[in-house]
Amino acid sequence: MDINKELEELKSRALEQLAGTADLKALEAWRVFCLGKKSPLSQILRGLSDLPPEERRSVGALANELKALLESSLVQKRDSLQLAEVSALQEKGSLDVTLPGRPITQGRLHPTTQIVRQICDIFVAMGFQVAEGPEVEWDYYNFEALNIPKGHPARDMWATFWVDYQNEQGERPMLLRTHTSPMQIRIMEKTSPPVRVVVPGKVYRYEATDATHESSFYQIEGLAVDKGVTFGDLKGCLYEFARRLYGPERKARFRCDYFPFVEPGVEMAIDCFACAGKGCRLCSNTGWIEILGAGMVHPDVLRSVNYDPDVYTGFAFGLGVERIPILRYGIDDIRLFYSNDLRFLKQF
Ligand code: FA5
């Protein structure tokens, strides 16, 4: 049959059937029959490319016109059927359109995300940039380039999840990063000094959990390298950070600590909010809660990324993100953060 004639017939048949549809179910059946993938109209449209060019143009225009007409008729019919259904329900008294709608529950940012953003904002205001890096890391970045060669006892400080992948030498060089410090190396490899950057991210440790320890948690790494950076800059920067985050009344304490990639190394602690420094379960009876490790970047680390330690110096720090809201809001167990209890999460 002539395609133009076939289209005419399709049109009158479809419109006639549409006029006869009495409910939404029948309308859906009509849609599938007249506009679905297997409908005669779709087949004509699909076959257009096989027609000679002249015919293709005229048939194509007609077929597309018919498709648009059927689609708009469908929308109109659906609206009128829906309206009729609502009126029928109202007449029966089973629909009360004056009832207030159900409130839409709104999600919110996880407390860890909120605190990561607040901390990064504080450092951005001090001139730091923000960068991110991989959670699955090479042994080289997590340990070796940070002055922790294979077999070094300092590796015991960070019990690790290794990825089950062996290289040609039979070694397993891939792991879940135990800290954000590998990003110090990745950033210095790609950038010339001066560097001022903070790196938020998730880290993993193969260790037992307790009120202040999780096996996966967040850290924020900080790194500043330039000519003439001193330990005074490190302390000034971190005191200012604590003041902006906790207010002036909270006490901060620096003590010597050991990290192979800094020299000298320190830990910074804040006085325990729960016992006002007297000693309790949260602070393991010390009165202080450690929030970060820090120090002056070790000359060997600078050398490993081709920075001249006689010209450049720098400081680095790595802070445990969850410890910050613990101190700020008086949360007495870190495990609450990731146990998905909405009664806890909704408070932030
Ligand atoms: C480090 O991870 C070093 N990379 C920090 C560093 C960076 C030192 C740069 C010097 C220079 P440490 O293992 O102490 O250090 O962890 C840093 C912080 O992460 C701790 O102060 C603590 O706040 C937090 N933290 C450590 N272990 C856990 C854990 N299991 N659960 C929650 N927070 C933790």
292 forms bridges with which residues in the sheet?
Answer: 268, 319
Does ligand 1 lie within 6 Å of residue 316's CB atom? yes
**Residues linked to residue 137 through DSSP beta bridges, in sequence order:** 175
Q: Annotated active-site positions, please?
A: 158, 179, 205, 219, 262, 316
The rounded mean pLDDT for the chain is 91
Which pLDDT band, with edges at 50, 70 and 90, does 251 fall under?
confident
Residue type, 158: W
Q: Which residues contact 162 (CB under 8 A, 6 or more apart)?
A: 172, 174, 175
How high is the pLDDT of residue 1? Answer: 63
Q: Which residues contact 3 (CB under 8 A, 6 or more apart)?
A: 44, 51, 55, 59
Q: Tell me: the pLDDT tens digits for 296-332?
A: 999 999 999 999 999 999 999 999 999 888 877 878 8
- CA 322 to centroid of ligand 1, rounded, Å: 11
Our mutation pick for probing the ligand 1 site, out of 206, 245, 323, counting the most ligand atoms within 8 A of Cβ, is: 323
Q: What is the mean pLDDT of residues 265-290?
A: 85
Dist CA 222 CA 294 (whole Å): 9
Q: Which residue has the tokens 């297997």?
A: 38
d(CA 46, CA 300): 68
List Cα–Cα distances, 36 to 28, 31, 47, 63, 71, in angstroms. 10, 6, 15, 14, 11
Give the Cα separation of 206 and 157 in Å (integer): 11
**What's the pLDDT tens digit per position in 7-65?**
999 999 999 999 999 999 999 999 999 999 999 999 999 998 998 888 889 899 999 99
What digits encode the pLDDT tens for the residues 38-52?
999 999 999 989 988
CA 118 to chain CA centroid, nearest Å:
15
